[in-house]
Amino acid sequence: MTRVIAACAIVAAASIGIVAQQRPKNVREGAYTADQAQRGKAGFEGVCMRCHGAALTGSEGNGPPIKGPAFLAHWDKDTLGSLWVKIRDTMPLGVAGTLTDDVKLQILAYILQQNGFPAGATELPGDVSALDEINIQQRGVWDGVFTAAQADRGGQSVARCQGCHGPQLGGTDRAPALKGDGFVANWENGSVNKLFLKIRDTMPPSNTDSLSPEAKLDVVAYLLRENGFPAGSSELAANADALDSLQITRKVGDTGAPNFALVQVVGCLTPGQPSGWRLTNATDPVVTRDNTPNATALETAKSKALGRQTFGLVSIDAAAKSGALDGRKVEARGLLYRDGSYADINLTSLKPLGTSCSN
């Protein structure tokens, strides 16, 4: 019996060790080690620095920035697997075989470190499938980017905004909502800096100097809190790079594709007057990477059940305008734009699925 208990204890301890060493699901949870990044620094300085610069900010005509807002925006919501394949298979440009995969993996760790992602207890693996499970996501408004005291100060200045935006900041015929789905849809996937600059440089209209930039940054903190984003331990600082790195996003798990994303939907093409072309009985939008579908994607779309969404359609082509697709089930792709109660898709593709919506 004692041996059985001891064996169970060993198994349990091993299980705990496995759990403790599970890889993070997000690069912000610590996907590399400090030692791995330090080794990568040497590799970067020996080969990559001449094109991408010592500060990783790129050099004109040679290499793009691999640090900062532009780089992070490009890879945001992708995976470490995609970034690793890019480095492994194409870098250094034209002579990809001059560095071993191990050295390139160390350089990837260094790039992550230089972009402010924290180190962890486990080194980056060289396995693409394992790296594909680690998402790249910038720090954003769900990470506590302002303090409660800063939001409280901002609330004292918001009375100046209520004359146009309404007492509850829900919007009026004079000004848009500063609170609720319409506000989040308008600003999501942009940076906090973009919102701050809008307020700092244009608000209140015709009297922009009535509040200091510091007071307006406090107003930004107040608006974030009013829209459900949590307070943290550090105040928003009037630093353009820092504010640019903070993304306004919906909470993980919220339904719906983000505003301005490339999406795919299936629905019924409906010519509408005077409101223009619409997609009715449409499915919820799904984010896609491809402007147009391949044959497999179209076959999958055919089997999709219709939904309850309605989208306005922008950039309808001549084939659709001919009327041949009226009332037909179609697969549409394009850039999603939502503002409160309505949504448009700026089309990149509109393909018939071979059936009538009345069938």
**What are the pLDDT digits (tens) for 81-94?**
999 999 999 999 98
Please tell me the pTM assigned to this model: 0.55
AA letter at 148: A
Rg (CA), the chain: 25
The confidence score (pLDDT) of residue 89 equals 94
Q: CATH 2.40.50: which residues of the chain? A: 262-356
Residue 21 in this model has a pLDDT that exceeds 60: no
Strand partners, 86: none
Q: What is the mean pLDDT of residues 7-20?
A: 41
AA letter at 139: R
Q: What percent of the chain has pLDDT over 70?
A: 91
Q: Could you say which DSSP state residue 123 is in?
A: P
Q: CATH 1.10.760.10: which residues of the chain? A: 25-131, 141-244
Higher local confidence (pLDDT), 28 or 224: 224
The confidence score (pLDDT) of residue 348 equals 93
Residue 350 in this model has a pLDDT that exceeds 50: yes
AA letter at 327: G
The architecture in CATH of the region 262-356 reads Beta Barrel (2.40)
> For residue 342, is it left (φ>0), alpha (ψ between -120 and 50) or beta?
beta
Please answer whether residues 55 and 67 qualify as being in contact, where contact means their C-beta atoms are separated by less than 8 angstroms: yes
286-287 vs 328-339, strand pairing mode: unpaired
Domain covering 25-131 assigned CATH 3.30.70.260 in the classification: no
Residue 308 in this model has a pLDDT that exceeds 80: yes
Higher local confidence (pLDDT), 137 or 39: 39
Q: Using 50, 70 and 90 to split pLDDT, how confident is the model at 248?
A: confident
Topology of domain 141-244 in CATH is Cytochrome Bc1 Complex; Chain D, domain 2 (1.10.760)
The set of residues, in sequence order, having a beta carbon less than 8 Å from that of 301 and lying 6+ positions away, is: 264, 266, 293, 331, 351, 353
The confidence score (pLDDT) of residue 340 equals 67
Nearest alpha-carbon partner for 142 in 249, 10, 30: 249
Distance between CA atoms of 196 and 177, rounded to whole angstroms?
A: 16
**What are the pLDDT digits (tens) for 130-176?**
999 998 887 889 889 999 999 999 999 998 899 899 989 988 888 89
Residue 37 in this model has a pLDDT that exceeds 80: yes
The confidence score (pLDDT) of residue 86 equals 94
Q: How many CB atoms lie within 10 A of CB 316?
A: 15
The confidence score (pLDDT) of residue 273 equals 64
Q: What is the mean pLDDT of residues 267-291?
A: 84
